Amino acid sequence: MQPVTLIEKHMGGTWSIQAYPSNLQSEEFIITQIKKAFAEVQRLENLLTDFRPSPFNEINTYAGIRPVSVCRELYDLIVSALHFSREGQGAFDISYASIGQLWREARAGKSAPSRDVIREQLQWVDYKKIILNPEEQTIFLPHKKMRIGLGGIGKGYAVDQAFNLLKDNGLTNFLINGSGDLRCLSDGKAPRPWRIGIRNPLSEDQELKMGILQIREGAVATSGDYVNYILLDGKKYHHIINPLTGMPEFGAVSTTIISSTALEADVTATIAMIKGPHFGLEYLNQKKIKGMIVAESGQVFMSKESLIQIEADAQKETTHVCGKHC
């Protein structure tokens, strides 16, 4: 039985959905459901983007001016983002976006921002200053230079919503790859679990795998310094910014997280990456999260709960490679 695979561009990256029909499902039915899932991802991109006008970006537009009323879905997602900001003790911080904007401008200008400029912007990075009103369902940024962003959580949320739609519509054996954030389902009738390769972050070869994960139902996300990096003043900078320092420097080159939802895997991979190998591993073990961190030295740190196999046959066939450029 051959799978149905569709690929589309969303949220600045490549998304693919692969599904196997059950005995009573036609290929046309599967294609229709996958297209519905992609439409849901596009709806969420329109809601959550901070690259163009959107309901989410209205919060930034009125920073320091007035609270912004938002829909229940957006309000709840921001509440979740603030929860993980607290959990990660600021290693993930939804208010990182003022620093993120600084690095976007640096990317365009081909020159890294100075330490003084970074220090100036850091005073606006503090998730504790965000004011929520649950009765009015409003979000308020109390200073005009504050910004929030959903990098590190929004894409995982979109994967989860697409997953729920496909599952609710009767699909039982499918995998969503949201530009590196994966979530899959393989029911008991499937011949085997999904076999997912974990990219070797120390190699330029995107197909070279460091480990393998076999999973019937769950989510996998990888953060890495080899994805979406730029060269500024002769030095490589990657896209994940430490909100505590304003710099993209952590001591880790890759983190891979396994969880029940893509949202949790996505945000936890970011937290572990920013905390670095030792503190990141401590965080994973404390929270009993399955994961792997690869240090700049090449040393691999596995959490006590990890299901990833570092094995000699890691180059055998896999369905997807988590951590590829997407």
pLDDT digits (tens, 9 = 90+) for 119-174: 999 999 999 999 999 999 999 999 999 999 998 999 999 999 999 999 999 999 99
Please indicate, yes or no, if residue 247 is contained in any of the structural domains.
Answer: yes
What would the mean pLDDT of 24-35 be, rounded to a whole number?
A: 95
Task: Write the CATH number for 136.
Answer: 1.10.3980.10
Task: Write the CATH number for 221.
Answer: 3.10.520.10
Q: Are residues 174 and 244 in the same domain?
A: yes
Please indicate, yes or no, if residue 239 is contained in any of the structural domains.
Answer: yes
pLDDT for residue 211: 80
**From start to end of the chain, where are the E strands?**
4-10, 13-19, 68-69, 131-133, 138-140, 173-178, 181-186, 194-199, 209-215, 217-224, 230-232, 235-237, 252-259, 290-295, 300-302, 320-322
Q: How confident is residue 100, by pLDDT bands cut at 50, 70 and 90? A: confident
Number of domains in the chain: 2
Residue 314, both tokens: 């890691």
Share of the chain above pLDDT 70, in %: 84
Q: Are residues 184 and 99 in the same domain?
A: no
Given a cut of 50, whether residue 312 has pLDDT beyond it is no
Q: What are the pLDDT digits (tens) for 240-267?
A: 888 999 988 778 888 999 999 999 999 9
Q: Which residue has the higher pLDDT, 41 or 2?
A: 41
Q: CA separation (Å) from 145 to 62, 94, 120, 235?
A: 10, 14, 11, 28
What would the mean pLDDT of 61-86 be, rounded to a whole number?
A: 98
Q: Which residue has the higher pLDDT, 307 or 304?
A: 304
Residue 144 is which amino acid?
K
Please indicate, yes or no, if residue 230 is contained in any of the structural domains.
Answer: yes
Question: Which of 97, 120, 140 represents a domain boundary (last residue)?
Answer: 140
Q: Are residues 127 and 77 in the same domain?
A: yes
Q: Are residues 115 and 176 in the same domain?
A: no
Please indicate, yes or no, if residue 90 is contained in any of the structural domains.
Answer: yes
What would the mean pLDDT of 319-326 be, rounded to a whole number?
A: 49
Q: Are residues 205 and 101 in the same domain?
A: no
Q: Are residues 80 and 191 in the same domain?
A: no
Q: Are residues 272 and 177 in the same domain?
A: yes
Q: Are residues 273 and 201 in the same domain?
A: yes
pLDDT for residue 114: 84
Please indicate, yes or no, if residue 117 is contained in any of the structural domains.
Answer: yes
Q: Are residues 187 and 123 in the same domain?
A: no
Given a cut of 70, whether residue 311 has pLDDT beyond it is no
pTM, rounded to two decimals: 0.90
For 66, the domain range is 57-140
Q: What are the pLDDT digits (tens) for 189-198?
A: 666 789 898 8
Q: How confident is residue 96, by pLDDT bands cut at 50, 70 and 90? A: very high
